[in-house]
Amino acid sequence: MKPRVLAGLMLVVGGMACFGAGAVIMREAFDTSRLEASRTRKTNEQCQVRLKELVGETGEVKIMTAPSNSFEVTVRNVTDPRKALSDASHAKALCPKHSLVYLCLGDKCDPASKTVTLKMRMTGRQG
Amino acid sequence: MREVYADVAPQRILMGWGEGLSKNDAIAYAKGYIQRRFEAVEASWYAVAPFMGGYLWEVHEGGPGKAYMPAVLTALSQDPGGQHWFPSGDRAFQVMMRDGKPLCILLSKSESNEIINSGKAPLLPSGKMARAVNKGTGMLVVGATLFGAGFSFMIGAGIFYAISANPAPQFGDIKFENMPHAQWHLVANVPATKIVSKLEFDKGAWKVETREHVIKGVNDPTKADPAPSFTPAERSSASDALETDGEVQRHPAPHAHDQTHSASPAPAPYDPAHASGSAPPVKHADDEAKGREHRTRATTGADSSPHSVARTTKPASKPAEAVSTAKPTTGKTQPQPGDRTANAPKATTAGKPAPAPKASNGETP
């Protein structure tokens, strides 16, 4: 077999292998994106469930439409401020796909209430 | 010959015409001629072109593969009656039209010399030719192209994966110093005279809003009342009243202050640290009541309540000279645990005046 033909055949085989590898990488990329999206959705669902458990009956988790994928947590009649701050950190850990954008702890946080209130607002982050 | 080809000249050049030949037939004829007549087959070239209902074919042994075919076609078309030639090795190859058909003749040595020396210009090569034997260049080109495309696709897929499909960390860039539980120090050291209205995180920054801690019915604990001055007669009458009654008297505020401040050269200053310990960040309803009691204990000298002052000043409020002459008062007022002022009479029975500052050092229960 002539050298050029042999080299040509090897290049053809190598080219086909490259096409195959590229196809595998592309499929993996799409699979990863799909899995990541699914994981994010389930994480957000679990986040809301766990937050409701965390705030208990005195608290309220309000899902907000704007900005999308954000919610506001309100806990009234806070008796242990230090625990409330720990709960806020805990809430952030429960919702890794959200960023804490606002938090207020005190009796001036809720104009409608004179008791100590914890308010926090979290929005979904990209990636 | 060397004038036509700048570098390498073909060893032999031949041309023929076949009437009614197809292109494939012409190619097969040319390749067959090369196989039978040429020695360097792999260095041979061929070219074919349609002409007058047939095909002209041209073969070269060696050389760069430049064909005379275009020049021959042009010459026969424009000058059918002329005799045209081009070199073939050390001889001349003549092309002409005879009986309306092209005729191609490789001249003999002597005839070649005549026409070469005649001064008539030869035809010049200009066309492309194909190799008689494939060296695999086509396969190499196809393979290289395919490999390049596949490699590019693979690199592109990798870049796509790295950019769009590479999953981000589950947690973002968390700064622990910005976590809510790490902000306790912002409110832990607020003075007891203030209340944290709110601890707020907004626009990426933490801030604390405080207000004055004001309790209804209680003076500003940071401002102690000045010590009132009473005459010795007033002071004596108050002391007698306490002794004769044998029980705690609920004196008006001026007398009570007299009792307290006479034993104490100066009112006990308000000590936030002593009063508060670690300040709570946020006061609520329960704290208010506790704070009132706490403040009362810590600021006895400033408390204007007659009841609290009387209750707390009985053991400690006796002036040093009065204590030295009177019986120890054991009436209904029992010394409170930890109250050093309760033992003051025993310590002063020898007539030595008890040190007044010790009698009321603010440690009233």
The 10s digit of each residue's pLDDT in B84-136 is: 999 998 899 999 999 889 999 999 999 999 998 888 899 999 899 999 888 88
Rounded to whole angstroms, how far apart are CA atoms B356 and B316?
9
B45 domain residue, yes or no? yes
Residue A50 CA from chain centroid, whole number: 14
The amino acid that residue B13 corresponds to is I
Rounded to whole angstroms, how far apart are CA atoms B72 and B60?
15
Q: What is the mean pLDDT of residues B351-358?
A: 40
Instruction: Tally the domains of chain B.
Output: 2
Listed ranges B167-176, B195-204, B278-287; the one with the highest mean pLDDT? B195-204
H-run or E-run covering B32: helix B23-37
Residue B150 to residue A6, Cβ atoms within 8 A: no
More confident residue, B357 or A83: A83
Q: What is the mean pLDDT of residues B217-243?
A: 61
B187 domain residue, yes or no? no
Listed ranges A111-125, B172-186, B196-210; the one with the highest mean pLDDT? B196-210
pLDDT score, position B279:
41
More confident residue, A21 or B332: A21
Of A2, A30, A108, the CB nearest to B209: A108
Residue B360 CA from chain centroid, whole number: 63
Please give the full DSSP string across B235-293, using - where no structure is assigned. Answer: HHHHHHHHHHH-S-----HHHHHHHHHHHSSSPPPP-HHHHHSSPPSS--HHHHHHHHH
Q: Are residues B141 and B54 in the same domain?
A: no
Q: What is the mean pLDDT of residues B167-186?
A: 80
Of B149, B281, B285, the CB nearest to A15: B149
Q: Are residues B119 and B142 in the same domain?
A: no
- Return residues 145-164 of B near A (CB < 8 Å): 145-151, 153-158, 160-161, 164
Question: Is the pLDDT assigned to residue A4 strictly greater than 80?
Answer: yes
The 10s digit of each residue's pLDDT in B197-227 is: 999 999 889 999 998 887 776 655 555 555 5
Rounded to whole angstroms, how far apart are CA atoms A38 and A40?
5
Q: Give Cβ neighbours of residue B99 (< 8 Å, ≥ 6 apart).
A: none
Residue B165 to residue A28, Cβ atoms within 8 A: yes
Q: Give Cβ neighbours of residue B336 (< 8 Å, ≥ 6 apart).
A: B315, B342, B364, B365
Q: How confident is the model at residue B240 (pLDDT cuts 50, 70, 90)?
A: low
Q: Are residues B157 and B84 in the same domain?
A: no
Question: Is the pLDDT assigned to residue B42 strictly greater than 80?
Answer: yes
The 10s digit of each residue's pLDDT in B292-321 is: 444 434 333 333 333 333 333 334 344 433
The pTM assigned to this predicted structure is: 0.42
- Return residues 115-144 of B near A (CB < 8 Å): 134-144
pLDDT score, position A66:
73
- Return residues 271-290 of B near A (CB < 8 Å): 280-282, 284-285
ipTM of the complex in this document: 0.77
Q: What is the mean pLDDT of residues A104-126?
A: 87
- Return residues 206-235 of B near A (CB < 8 Å): 209
More confident residue, A106 or B330: A106
E strands of B132-248, at which residues?
A: 194-202, 205-212
- Return residues 8-37 of A near B (CB < 8 Å): 8-12, 14-19, 21-23, 25-26, 28-30, 32-33, 35-36
Of B143, B148, B157, the CB nearest to A26: B157
Question: Is the pLDDT assigned to residue B247 strictly greater than 50?
Answer: no
Q: Quick one: tokens of B104? A: 């191609």
8 Å CB contact between B90 and B10: no
- Chain A partners within 8 Å of B183 (Cβ): 85
Residue B143 to residue A7, Cβ atoms within 8 A: yes
**Domain range for B146:** 137-166
B248 domain residue, yes or no? no
Asked if the C-beta of A3 comes within 8 angstroms of chain B's C-beta atoms, the answer is yes
B177 domain residue, yes or no? no
pLDDT score, position A54:
83
Rounded to a whole number of angstroms, the distance from the CA of B212 to the nearest CA of chain A is: 14
Question: Is the pLDDT assigned to residue A122 strictly greater than 50?
Answer: yes
B156 domain residue, yes or no? yes
Q: Are residues B103 and B74 in the same domain?
A: yes
Q: Are residues B22 and B127 in the same domain?
A: yes
> Between A and B, how many CB-CB pairs are < 8 A?
170
B136 dihedral zone (left: phi>0; alpha: psi -120 to 50; beta): left
How far lies B238's CA from each of B254, B305, B309, in Å? Answer: 10, 18, 14
The amino acid that residue B96 corresponds to is M
E strands of A43-97, at which residues?
A: 59-64, 70-75
- Chain B partners within 8 Å of A105 (Cβ): 198-200, 281-282
Rounded to a whole number of angstroms, the distance from the CA of A42 to the nearest CA of chain B is: 13
The 10s digit of each residue's pLDDT in A36-60 is: 888 888 888 888 888 888 888 878 8
In chain A, where the domains are located: 3-124
Mean of all residue pLDDT scores within chain B:
70
Determine which of B155, B161, B213 to mutate to test the interface with A (most A C-beta atoms within 10 Å): B161
Residue B196 CB-half CA count within 13 A: 24
Let me know how many helices (H) and strands (E) chain B has, helices first: 13, 11
Determine which of B195, B199, B211 to mutate to test the interface with A (most A C-beta atoms within 10 Å): B199
Rounded to whole angstroms, how far apart are CA atoms B305 and B299?
11
pLDDT score, position B105:
92
Question: Is the pLDDT assigned to residue B287 strictly greater than 80?
Answer: no
The 10s digit of each residue's pLDDT in A61-91 is: 888 777 777 888 999 889 899 999 998 998 8
B143 domain residue, yes or no? yes
Q: Are residues B89 and B150 in the same domain?
A: no
Q: Are residues B118 and B152 in the same domain?
A: no
Of B146, B151, B180, the CB nearest to A103: B180
% of chain B residues with pLDDT over 70 = 55
Q: Quick one: tokens of B119? A: 């001064």
Q: Are residues B147 and B83 in the same domain?
A: no
